Structure 1
Amino acid sequence: MAASSTTKIAWRLQEFEAHFSSISCLALGKSSGRLLATGGEDCRVNIWAVSKANCIMSLTGHKNPVECIHFNVSEEQVVAGSQSGSIRVWDLEAAKILRTLMGHKANITSLGFHPFGDFLASSSMDTNIKLWDVRRKGYVFRYKGHTQAVRSLAFSPDGKWLASASDDCTVKLWDLAQGKTITEFKSHTAPVNIIQFHPNEYLLASGSSDRTIKLWDLEKFTMIGSLEGDTTPVRCICFSPDGSCLYSGATDSLRVFGWEPDRCFDAVSVGWGKVSDVAICNQQLIGVSHQLSNVSSYVVDLKRVKKSGGAVIQGIIQDNQPLTEPKKDPKGAALRKNYERPTTTCRSQRLKHRSESDRRSPEGERRSPSEDEADEKLSSAEIHNAEDYKAIFQPKNAISRTPPKMSEPFPAPPEDGESSTASCFCETSGDDVPALQLSDISSSPNHRSGALSDEEALTQMKKGHETMCVMLSSRLKNLQTVRGVWTRDGIKIALDTAISMSDPSIVVDILNIINPQSLWKLDVCMTVLPQLDKLLQSKYESYIQTGCTSLKLVMKHFWTLISDTLKATPSVGVDITREERHQKCRVCCKQLKNLSNIVKNKATQVGRHGSTFKELQLLMAPLDDSP
């Protein structure tokens, strides 16, 4: 007898094609958990109701790929930042452009709406953070301090602070009124991807590519917890509504953490891949991810997830594990200070910031009213589904913005059943899809229209199955060989062995082990750099991503050594060690210059990885002045 659908903990809700071309970003509305915005290389922003098949509206106006999207608290507005640095704010209820904001010099990396006032924070690859008054044009304050791209912004629940997380491995806390840094947290050892304030207490959480989540006390400005357990970079974090636990989204998994003491309550396997955003609604956690032009949504039933009591050790739930109380202040962590929400918006701050902005704004960052008006006339909000638009954005009951049919929990599919699939209002672009990333059946036109019979569908599913099994078996065998060499002879010989196999996937697998653990040495650089040429120009997204990450780490950790060694005055006498190091640095410099040309070419192209290559181009700029 099949188990009831109520026994499901996690399931895929839907998969659909959302844009003409590749999707570059997406965001869920955090208040309802039922609205989704997607941004693509087609320069559009599309608005969806989660679990529904049709696009509600499409927002146009950006002239470059959309890199970042964010809903405001009420979900009445959505803001999108582009690869060129422009920002557009749309009023979803009125279905029109509200404001165009210009001021950043590079692509937008993160956005955030103030919880009370009409303020918007933005960050860019130019490392600057800017605070905008959405009712006016021109930014009202600029916060400078990060040395690399800022990946996440969050306002405190009381609206007084702004937190920022960066690729420079730091988290900064800013005082909005004073326009300066309050403190900086430096315990992460890799880029920080996401931050979120506790809904009530003076507590901040940050998730990083070092696979940890750090918890920071905002009264004492100290780290009170380091939560580990994710085997891949932490991509999303979300406090439970009551603040009793923290949900962490990584590749294909969700973990539930507690702190003081640090422990993992539960670990749930979810097939969402590289999850991009999560939200909570009706005791369900909604997660969304994207690949090429497709979006997938997933549901985790939080009623069936452990949120207290036991701990998970090595993937096994231990219900009877004793929890020892940490040594802490007699007052107890439960008495940590809570936020006080203001009753009015911070207009006085706006006036102060505005006067300073008039003096500080660099020349050329402001445009004439006529330029802005002309630009906004080119922006539009095209409604594709009038029924859903009226139900969601213009409900008769103005007190409740979410109509009843959207507020019900998402039902689990039948046991062993499939989640629904749908198409966007637009046709597929017909891009080639690597066989290892999507099955033939998912790209079949007949499959999208539902015309396949059971026998035809089975034939499609079996197509290429034996070939794939042979490929994966060969890959596993090669990896086992490399692992044996690594254990016996070390990383350098293991890399040489992997390269000799003439299989880029093996090299990528090894680099994905080396990169997070920072196992780089100068010898390893000499071996790997010639291989990055192929990875950066590969047609596979995962190869390009691994190649970019490796090149970034080499530049970050070894360029200063290479440059200083090549510029140093030759020593008197024979110094074999120095000569060997000099030779290695000379070879690495030559290889880096070759890669720099590839990066420059890629940075000029509009594509999924355009922003990454632009960042690499800035990082590799010193090569132009090298001997």
Structure 2
Amino acid sequence: MATPVVTKTAWKLQEIVAHASNVSSLVLGKASGRLLATGGDDCRVNLWSINKPNCIMSLTGHTSPVESVRLNTPEELIVAGSQSGSIRVWDLEAAKILRTLMGHKANICSLDFHPYGEFVASGSQDTNIKLWDIRRKGCVFRYRGHTQAVRCLRFSPDGKWLASAADDHTVKLWDLTAGKMMSEFPGHTGPVNVVEFHPNEYLLASGSSDRTIRFWDLEKFQVVSCIEGEPGPVRSVLFNPDGCCLYSGCQDSLRVYGWEPERCFDVVLVSWGKVADLAVCNDQLIGVAFSQSNVSSYVVDLTRVTRTGTVAQDPVQDSRPLAQQPAHPSAPLRRIYERPGTACSKPQRVKQNSESERRSPSSEDDRDERESRAEIQNAEEYNEIFQPKNSISRTPPRRSEPFPAPPEDDMVSAKEVAKPSPTMDSQFPVPNLEVPPRPPAVTPTPAPKAEPAIIPATRNEPIGLKASDFLPAVKIPQQAELVDEDAMSQIRKGHDTMCVVLTSRHKNLDTVRAVWTTGDIKTSVDSAVAINDLSVVVDLLNIVNQKASLWKLDLCTTVLPQIEKLLQSKYESYVQTGCTSLKLILQRFLPLITDILAAPPSVGVDISREERLHKCRLCYKQLKSISGLVKSKSGLSGRHGSAFRELHLLMASLD
């Protein structure tokens, strides 16, 4: 009697070359988990069927790299935003461009389709969020409030709200009907990369570069819990379709979390590197990652993953108080979304000769749409997916069955795969699931090896700048140092100028650090200024800005001339540091400076007062010099414009 083959919990599905140049964005179809869209620096959007080697369709028309892509729920429409700020919508079933939307002034960082209406939301590096009506090609509303790039947008399941996450460390919730912000959720200490609504309850999850995931109650508008200790920045999260848990795509692992109370149910090791998007279908989680021009897909068998606190756990042994025990998934603690009874699956086709849509043939929009095409690369797969025969509604065959797992003959056991790291185990207790023992001394019949789809997966780790990627693995410990030296020499090739710059900067920082250890902040800043390297001044100010108590009046006299240089720099980080330092000086010292200068002269000799008066006069003169520069830049748009406008208001008392 043949013994059944034990399969993997997680495995790599395939690796493909998705574009002629670097891949810049990708997204999975959430309904099927089988449709993949990629955007590249070659200005194209390519469509793929997961686990198939060939491109189904290539969408052209953008003239700058594609920064963001998104599929609608029925997977009939796709929207793509470019580096130049333009947005294009394609109809996949009709294989043609549907709309061109223009209006943003910078990169499109995030997109989302409304779940029922015919609308698209877009977030940009220009800090604006726009809601577009696909039928009329117009911007319905512009939402202002973020001060940095908007990285993620999500409509609520009932289509009434829009959540946004941005580099300004905030999450905002917008009321689409009222056209205004409902609530702001502060708390993250780094850029917020992703937000996701719970599929049923009034609950929102947000993931940040500060390595935390926060859960927000959308009735009370307050934090429910916070998951800390993620191994890296949080870039992709996804609720299970029934809402029982949250998946987090971490560096080389999948983590499964609960939020009341916050805890980790399971950790599965997956060698996907930085996973870019997740989808769930047929009790499998699909993850996709990209590196350079390659895209890799991975599968996790969710039937072998712990997703709730009640699985494989004896309730008698649960010694926690009843108030801390998890609620049953079928008994939600919050309101449930009320979805409309009917939904528009796709925009209505507007006749080009109608009065409302009649425009000049030479208009810019018409030209853009004429130049945008949907080129079918593989007609057989395209017809199978988008034009199924003998079916009233589109139910593509790709949804029919899960991906088969390869035999477990060259991997660690499932128990090892699910084993969390010691640091996570101490923070979140993981249920100890016993894995059935492997059959003894029975060699499974190997499955016939299929030809590689497009790129043989020769290694489990994604492409990256690691020593092992440049040189063969060396097992002899004595040679490890030699390997690192050889690897570094390989990395340095072609970057001699940058290496010289970084070496010089490191030497200058060492000089400043030697003075800093004496505790004399003023002398440290003087030494940084004397080196005549603005990058060192920026590094030092970024540290001093974090602790206001370090600032003294004599420090301002040294820093203010450097701030004037930073505000005129072509580098955004220099300008930002200069604005932060100037704002701190104005808030802390400007009232003191104006009061001392306005005070009547003293009688007699007071050396300390004379020194303070001299410093105030010098600071006042320097601030007057900077005020003209601030005033001239206060008319700029974007985050720097708002920062300069705030500084201009703070400096009003100088006049």
TM-score norm. by structure 1 comes to 0.68
Preserved contact between residue 170 and residue 184 of structure 1 (Cα < 8 Å): yes
| CA distance in 2 between partners of 1:161 and 1:28 (Å) | 22
- What is the CA-CA distance between 1:326 and the residue it aligns to? 3.5
Q: Are 2:421 and 1:411 aligned?
A: no
Q: Residue 573 of structure 1 is aligned with which of 584, 593, 610?
A: 610
SS state of the match for residue 275, structure 2?
A: coil
Q: Are 2:431 and 1:394 aligned?
A: no
| CA distance in 2 between partners of 1:492 and 1:415 (Å) | 63
| CA distance in 1 between partners of 2:13 and 2:584 (Å) | 50
Q: Residue 469 of structure 2 is aligned with which of 414, 419, 439?
A: 439
Counterpart position of 2:583? 560
What letter is aligned with 2:386?
F
What letter is aligned with 2:402?
E
| CA distance in 2 between partners of 1:89 and 1:420 (Å) | 36
| CA distance in 2 between partners of 1:308 and 1:397 (Å) | 40
| CA distance in 2 between partners of 1:286 and 1:104 (Å) | 32
Counterpart position of 1:336? 334
| CA distance in 2 between partners of 1:576 and 1:415 (Å) | 80
Preserved contact between residue 6 and residue 408 of structure 2 (Cα < 8 Å): no
Preserved contact between residue 265 and residue 310 of structure 1 (Cα < 8 Å): no
| CA distance in 2 between partners of 1:552 and 1:306 (Å) | 48
Alignment of 1:227-242 (within 5 A): 227-242=227-242
Preserved contact between residue 11 and residue 413 of structure 1 (Cα < 8 Å): no
| CA distance in 1 between partners of 2:518 and 2:70 (Å) | 46
The CA RMSD over aligned residues, in Å, is 5.2
Q: Structure 1 residues 564 and 175 mapped into 2: Cα distance closer, same or farther (>3 Å)?
A: closer
- What is the CA-CA distance between 1:388 and the residue it aligns to? 1.2
Q: Structure 1 residues 43 and 222 mapped into 2: Cα distance closer, same or farther (>3 Å)?
A: same
Preserved contact between residue 64 and residue 83 of structure 2 (Cα < 8 Å): yes
What letter is aligned with 1:377?
R
- List per-residue Cα deviations over 1:569-626 (Å, max 9, x = no partner): 79863369989x98xx99xx9xxxxxxxxxxxxxxxxxxxxxxxx989879989x999
- What is the CA-CA distance between 1:62 and the residue it aligns to? 0.3
Counterpart position of 1:468? 483
| CA distance in 2 between partners of 1:145 and 1:619 (Å) | 11
SS state of the match for residue 268, structure 1?
A: strand
Q: Structure 1 residues 328 and 263 mapped into 2: Cα distance closer, same or farther (>3 Å)?
A: closer
SS state of the match for residue 157, structure 2?
A: coil
What letter is aligned with 2:611?
V
Paired residues, number: 509
- What is the CA-CA distance between 1:6 and the residue it aligns to? 3.7
SS state of the match for residue 416, structure 1?
A: coil
- What is the CA-CA distance between 1:324 and the residue it aligns to? 3.8
Preserved contact between residue 152 and residue 194 of structure 1 (Cα < 8 Å): yes
SS state of the match for residue 384, structure 2?
A: helix
Q: Structure 1 residues 48 and 305 mapped into 2: Cα distance closer, same or farther (>3 Å)?
A: same
| CA distance in 1 between partners of 2:50 and 2:292 (Å) | 19
Counterpart position of 1:451? none
Counterpart position of 2:129? 129
Q: Structure 1 residues 163 and 416 mapped into 2: Cα distance closer, same or farther (>3 Å)?
A: same
Counterpart position of 1:503? none
- What is the CA-CA distance between 1:390 and the residue it aligns to? 1.2
Counterpart position of 1:94? 94
| CA distance in 1 between partners of 2:256 and 2:136 (Å) | 41
What letter is aligned with 1:247?
Y
TM-score norm. by structure 2 comes to 0.65
Q: Are 2:138 and 1:138 aligned?
A: yes
Preserved contact between residue 266 and residue 307 of structure 2 (Cα < 8 Å): yes
| CA distance in 1 between partners of 2:473 and 2:187 (Å) | 51
What letter is aligned with 1:70?
R
- What is the CA-CA distance between 1:328 and the residue it aligns to? 11
Preserved contact between residue 103 and residue 138 of structure 1 (Cα < 8 Å): no
| CA distance in 2 between partners of 1:297 and 1:403 (Å) | 19
Higher alpha-carbon deviation: 396-405 or 135-144: 396-405
Counterpart position of 1:67? 67
| CA distance in 2 between partners of 1:125 and 1:367 (Å) | 31
Counterpart position of 1:253? 253
| CA distance in 2 between partners of 1:56 and 1:562 (Å) | 58
Alignment of 1:249-398 (within 5 A): 249-309=249-309, 322-326=319-323, 334-345=332-343, 370-371=362-363, 372-398=365-391
| CA distance in 2 between partners of 1:390 and 1:113 (Å) | 24
Counterpart position of 2:170? 170
Alignment of 1:585-596 (within 5 A): none
| CA distance in 1 between partners of 2:373 and 2:366 (Å) | 13
| CA distance in 2 between partners of 1:280 and 1:491 (Å) | 55
- What is the CA-CA distance between 1:142 and the residue it aligns to? 1.6
Q: Structure 1 residues 328 and 133 mapped into 2: Cα distance closer, same or farther (>3 Å)?
A: farther
| CA distance in 2 between partners of 1:82 and 1:62 (Å) | 7
Q: Percent identity?
A: 52
What letter is aligned with 2:123?
S
- What is the CA-CA distance between 1:241 and the residue it aligns to? 0.8
- What is the CA-CA distance between 1:202 and the residue it aligns to? 1.2
SS state of the match for residue 574, structure 1?
A: helix
SS state of the match for residue 583, structure 2?
A: helix
- What is the CA-CA distance between 1:258 and the residue it aligns to? 0.8
- What is the CA-CA distance between 1:555 and the residue it aligns to? 5.8
- List per-residue Cα deviations over 1:157-176 (Å, max 9, x = no partner): 11111111111222111111
| CA distance in 1 between partners of 2:61 and 2:31 (Å) | 26
Listed as ranges, the gaps of 5+ residues in structure 1 are 312-318, 351-357, 359-365, 425-432, 442-456, 476-481, 497-506, 538-546, 590-613
Preserved contact between residue 85 and residue 108 of structure 2 (Cα < 8 Å): yes
Q: Structure 1 residues 492 and 211 mapped into 2: Cα distance closer, same or farther (>3 Å)?
A: farther
- List per-residue Cα deviations over 1:534-586 (Å, max 9, x = no partner): xxx9xxxxxxxxx99x769846754533687999779863369989x98xx99
Counterpart position of 1:446? none
SS state of the match for residue 51, structure 1?
A: coil
- List per-residue Cα deviations over 1:186-225 (Å, max 9, x = no partner): 1222221111111111111111112111111112222212
What letter is aligned with 1:416?
D
Preserved contact between residue 260 and residue 326 of structure 2 (Cα < 8 Å): no
- What is the CA-CA distance between 1:39 and the residue it aligns to? 0.6
Q: Structure 1 residues 458 and 386 mapped into 2: Cα distance closer, same or farther (>3 Å)?
A: farther
The structure whose Rg is larger is: 2
- What is the CA-CA distance between 1:123 and the residue it aligns to? 1.2
Q: Structure 1 residues 38 and 346 mapped into 2: Cα distance closer, same or farther (>3 Å)?
A: closer
Higher alpha-carbon deviation: 565-574 or 114-123: 565-574
SS state of the match for residue 332, structure 2?
A: helix
